[in-house]
Structure 1
């Protein structure tokens, strides 16, 4: 198996950016994103077989109860390519499919260079398939078209391969066929991710710049901030500051998710990980902000995100239906 032992894999802060591939999985609701992510965790052996469970990355109670993904999850997967035999680090982000969580998807895309576009072989291309594809194209990501659930009796891979090829502008044979349930084709998909998705680009000697793409509150440790390092380097005990507010913090812990938190000495160019500063208010780690070092700050912030607009919808109806023309 091309899986690598975590202890022998390239370590955070000392991984060559050319060995890193950052990608996310995007698709319509129930097209099998989380199941495919489970298979990737199993094949790369970052989760032992005895600890494996369905929807491993869905941590919130409501996600497990309803069988949906709400929060994006980033995971570091070591992999030895079956094409060139080299060792790589894949940073995978599993995203939600529901239209209500589109903003969550857009934040994940900003931390990636490529996206795996998943389509259910039995249901075909649907609304969120298109919406998420256009989001990925806006971010100039490399798209890998994948047909999932080929093990289903109702699967029509040939039909939907043609539709997907027309949509993206590739050949039908370029659409990979996998089954997240049985694991068929997932090894080939991991090899194609290494081959097709470009490595991250950044200057290791420039002042540190890291994009905050998510943050969660932990009762015991305060705010855990998920970051993607673009330039420079972040190390434990660094004095860091938020670009937008200028607020200064000390980094108490830095590490990667694989898929449980693993403490590291730091994070280098192109790496995705987490930072803990002991802050107790999520508002001080604003999503889309740029983290830089206090003693050697960057002059230019990263692009960030558009702020989502809160919306309220209301409807007015007359008590008596006959009065409807008057209301109009």
Structure 2
């Protein structure tokens, strides 16, 4: 039996999180869920959307499935997601982008199956910034050898484990010769340890164009924090949007699996949210636990429901509810 922390979140979070839990339970994998509340609902009692008991649960269980959480406005708290990554050293952000038959996109005839591996802890997103007098602001870009080598090695290890063929390092070393230059140097060094995996590198602006022109040519892309944030949303757009985009934040001691989309509080409680991204995030979780067969069945169930098109949510062109969509996935899994 696996112990897994479940953070329902707020807004549509509980609906999509519990739908994903139902799908995972239907695989037959034995999981004991430790349900812990975070987000706006606990602010009044704890003064923070991320109480210590949430972190304690994840540290104990090592694995968590999380629904979206609203970032409070005007409290000084940056983000639950950012805090989780920092507190648990979840240095790798994993964003698979896979096309599903039945999802209307501009690339319906192009098979897309690529993965963004984004460094999570530094770069401009470290938030080291200040005013320079009254009329200028400065943000400091931090790139370290340790973090760069760690994230590139994660990307190569992922490629080996998942049977992928190619890793592309994305950078802007032609302009930022020291910071991105160091990242590229580290990538080239680590690549030498994986001669069985093809390696190349590409400047981020050219990469953006190539992803739009020929996304089918790319496999695993690894990059610093800012570029990863931008390109992962771009790739989600190629395959149909954030509603079908799973995600994971992974460290050496813990991993949190979650959809990329927001909490959409206006749609909360209406049983109309699309749980696909959360269900696919749960499939990533199962694979992380070593339950590959169960993960494959979940992805197969999702793919068949979407391809059939009869029991999909409003954003996929149907009128099926969140709970009913999850039950359709379960039927197709079986």
TM range (shorter): 0.3 to 0.5
Greater C-alpha radius of gyration: 1
Task: Indicate the structure with greater helix content.
Answer: 2
TM-score norm. by structure 1 comes to 0.34
TM-score norm. by structure 2 comes to 0.33
Q: Which has the higher contact order (CA 8 A, sep 6+)?
A: 2
Task: Indicate the structure with greater strand content.
Answer: 1
